[in-house]
């Protein structure tokens, strides 16, 4: 807010934020929102109905870990969709972005259009084709009969294709969020507030948004890296995992590292401007002191007191400049935010069945017979 806005304008901004559509297609949005529950339901149904068939594969730690990674990614995407308009609006309300209400509303509209661009449908189609190729390329239950394999295939195939279709839609929006964060310093001037309570100059919402964006990709990435421990003997699977890890690294760089570097560069530029302003003030105080104490008459007590207060203010300003925030997050906070959700994936990767009571596995085995 470059100037005080009327209450009606503020209501308009709040209304636009409330009506923001991260996923404009209601059916696609519903599928993404309910995907974690669908995922858990499919896993439970498979263990009960196909428990005997899937014994050699689905009850392995790697299988649990893959489900955990997908659930974490889906949940954090759900949160990301709701956080994006809220965090952007908080930036504007804090006056961290020098933008009028009309400029900010236009930016929200452009962001919504980019998130729901028609190209996202094309990416979903491409992802589905990739999923089809991966599904047939991976070895799957070679020790079981063709009849059992066919039953499992008919059960899993629709879910796998749906998952890859949603992956395409999700990945498009992750890149769109990364792009909007990257464009913010170019679109608006930041007002970095040196003494803001968030210790990030009032820009902490940007760091939180970036972290939420990264977690959606980081959870599957941790699983794929761990996949080398389980599938290291199969060249075909290792090749697919390598491709996946490379994609994860490139994507995380694009949606997390590059946008945060753009924000950091703008914050560094703001710091340099403050340093220049401080240098001018310091030079003025120095000149004033030289004139004051080189005069033929000694300065009065009031003049000395006034000069002392100016010097004290300058010292305080110098200390604030030393603590000038140059990152939109605190290192400890973002490290915890990025790593904590991965603990569950790693826990299941080392063998979640160790923590499941024996009567639960016995009951599931009985249902599968």
pLDDT greater than 60 at residue 273 = yes
Domain assignment of residue 288, yes or no: no
Q: Which of 41-50, 146-155, 283-292 has the highest mean pLDDT?
A: 41-50
Residue 125 has pLDDT above 90, yes or no: yes
The boundaries of the domain holding residue 354 are: 7-266+330-368
Q: Is residue 287 part of a domain?
A: no
In the chain, how many domains are there? 1
Compute the average pLDDT of residues 241-253.
86
Please indicate, yes or no, if residue 19 is contained in any of the structural domains: yes
Does the pLDDT of residue 321 top 90, yes or no? no
- Whether 306 is covered by a domain: the verdict is no
Task: Examine residue 167 and state whether it is found in any structural domain, yes or no.
Answer: yes
Q: What is the pLDDT of residues 65-98, one digit of tens each?
A: 777 778 888 888 998 999 999 999 999 888 888 8
pLDDT band at 316 (very low <50, low <70, confident <90, very high): low
On whether residue 272 sits in a domain, the answer given is: no
**pLDDT, position 344:** 59
Q: Please give the pLDDT value at position 317.
A: 63
Residue 2 inside a domain? The answer is no
Mean pLDDT of 305-329: 70
**271 domain residue, yes or no:** no
More confident of the two residues 214 and 273: 214
Distances (CA, A) of 218 to 255, 301, 365: 11, 64, 33
Residue 361 or 122, more confident: 122
pLDDT band at 233 (very low <50, low <70, confident <90, very high): low
């Amino acid at each position: 807010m470059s100037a005080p806005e009327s209450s009606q304008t503020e209501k308009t901004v709040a209304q636009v934020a409330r009506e923001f559509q991260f996923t404009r297609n209601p059916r696609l949005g519903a599928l993404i929102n309910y995907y974690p529950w669908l995922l858990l339901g499919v896993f439970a149904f498979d263990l009960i109905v196909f428990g005997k068939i899937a014994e050699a594969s689905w009850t392995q730690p790697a299988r649990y870990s893959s489900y955990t990674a997908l659930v974490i990614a889906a949940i954090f995407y759900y949160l990301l969709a709701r956080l994006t308009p809220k965090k952007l609006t908080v930036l504007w309300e804090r006056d961290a972005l020098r933008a009028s209400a009309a400029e900010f509303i236009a930016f929200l509209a452009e962001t919504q259009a980019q998130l729901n661009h028609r190209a996202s449908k094309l990416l979903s189609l491409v992802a589905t084709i990739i999923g089809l190729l991966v599904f047939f390329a991976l070895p799957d239950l070679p020790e079981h009969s063709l009849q059992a394999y066919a039953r499992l295939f008919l059960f899993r195939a629709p879910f796998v294709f749906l998952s890859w279709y949603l992956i395409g839609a999700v990945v498009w929006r992750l890149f769109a969020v990364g792009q909007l964060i990257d464009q913010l310093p170019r679109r608006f001037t930041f007002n970095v507030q040196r003494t803001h309570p968030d210790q990030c100059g009032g820009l902490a919402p940007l760091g939180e948004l970036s972290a939420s964006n990264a977690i959606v990709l980081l959870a599957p990435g941790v699983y794929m890296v761990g996949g080398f421990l389980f599938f290291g003997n199969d060249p075909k699977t290792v090749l697919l995992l390598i491709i996946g890890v490379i994609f994860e690294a490139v994507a995380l760089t694009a949606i997390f590292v590059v946008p945060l570097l753009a924000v950091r560069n703008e914050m560094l530029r703001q710091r340099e401007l403050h340093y220049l302003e401080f240098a001018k003030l310091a030079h003025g105080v120095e000149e004033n002191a030289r004139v004051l104490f080189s005069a033929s008459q000694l300065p009065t007590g009031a003049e000395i007191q006034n000069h002392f207060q100016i010097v004290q203010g300058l010292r305080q300003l110098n200390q604030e400049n030393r603590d000038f925030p140059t990152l939109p997050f605190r290192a400890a906070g973002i490290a915890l935010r990025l790593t904590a959700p991965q603990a569950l994936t790693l826990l299941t990767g080392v063998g979640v069945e160790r923590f499941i009571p024996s009567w639960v596995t016995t009951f599931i085995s009985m249902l599968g017979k």
